[in-house]
């Protein structure tokens, strides 16, 4: 819990002049929930790592518990225990829990998993469906990356529900589509990312990789690390 701040933590927390100001929350729409997390903890304990990392751990613990409940309801309790225990201690997940800046993944993962669980239970209680939408929005507000998760609601309907009842999953897909358009059009994220790569990481500007090459390589690497998590490193990009 007291391990030092590293990498993006230095730039995003220690050297960020806005970290203690509420303007940090109001000016970053796409990470409103995460910036609020930073704002509250900074005003309690400054840049002391303890509470930041404790928050990440609690998000991860919450996701593990929800995963247990979700799988237990869909399959059985034994399967729920196995799935949640593997997720809770898998080495690939460690980075997003112990690295403070990586905690955004643990945070939006928690809200998404809670949304999916409530969605799966909403057939018997319509109020749960509303809460599912709310937590999905909170997931989107935690990280812009969460918009790619909406197809999982469609997949759930095909496996356990009624896929032709599109009025159930369509709001989630529509929210994700809207979020994506806002992210590209209003956020200026791509331009900012390009600037960061050139000014902070000294890489070539305006360089975009071919997704037909990049995506298969990334997916195959993730699959290998899930089943054979050896030689893990914080900075894969630093090695040739």
* pTM, entire model: 0.84
pLDDT tens profile 183-225:
766 555 555 566 665 555 555 555 566 778 888 888 898 899 8
What's the confidence (pLDDT) of residue 185? 64
What's the confidence (pLDDT) of residue 178? 87
pLDDT tens profile 42-64:
889 888 899 999 999 999 999 99
Alpha helices in 21-125 (DSSP H): 23-26, 32-45, 49-74, 77-89, 95-98, 103-121
Burial group, residue 140, by CB count within 10 angstroms (0-12, 13-18, 19+): buried
Distances (CA, A) of 110 to 19, 92, 95, 136, 208: 23, 16, 15, 10, 31
Residue with tokens 């990481």: 201
């Amino acid at each position: 819990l007291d391990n030092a701040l590293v990498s993006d933590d230095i730039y995003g927390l220690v050297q960020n002049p806005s970290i203690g100001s509420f303007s940090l929350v109001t000016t970053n729409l796409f990470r409103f929930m995460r910036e609020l997390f930073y704002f509250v903890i900074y005003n309690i304990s400054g840049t002391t790592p303890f509470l930041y990392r404790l928050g990440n751990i609690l998000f991860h613990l919450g996701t593990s518990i929800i995963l247990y409940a979700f799988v237990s309801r869909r399959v059985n309790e034994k399967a729920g225990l196995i799935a949640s225990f593997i997720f809770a201690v898998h080495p690939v997940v460690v980075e997003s829990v112990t690295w403070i800046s990586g905690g955004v993944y643990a945070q939006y993962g928690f809200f998404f998993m809670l949304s999916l669980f409530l969605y799966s239970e909403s057939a018997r209680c319509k109020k749960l469906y509303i809460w599912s939408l709310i937590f999905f929005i909170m997931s989107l507000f935690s990280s812009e990356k969460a918009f790619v998760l909406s197809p999982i609601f469609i997949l759930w309907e095909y496996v356990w529900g009624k896929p032709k009842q599109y009025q159930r999953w369509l709001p989630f897909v529509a929210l994700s589509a809207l979020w994506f358009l806002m992210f590209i059009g209003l956020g200026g994220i791509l331009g900012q990312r390009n600037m960061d790569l050139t000014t902070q990481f000294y890489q070539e500007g305006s360089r975009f990789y071919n997704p037909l090459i990049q995506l298969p390589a990334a997916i195959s690497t993730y699959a290998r690390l899930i089943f054979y998590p050896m030689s893990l490193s914080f900075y894969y990009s630093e090695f040739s």
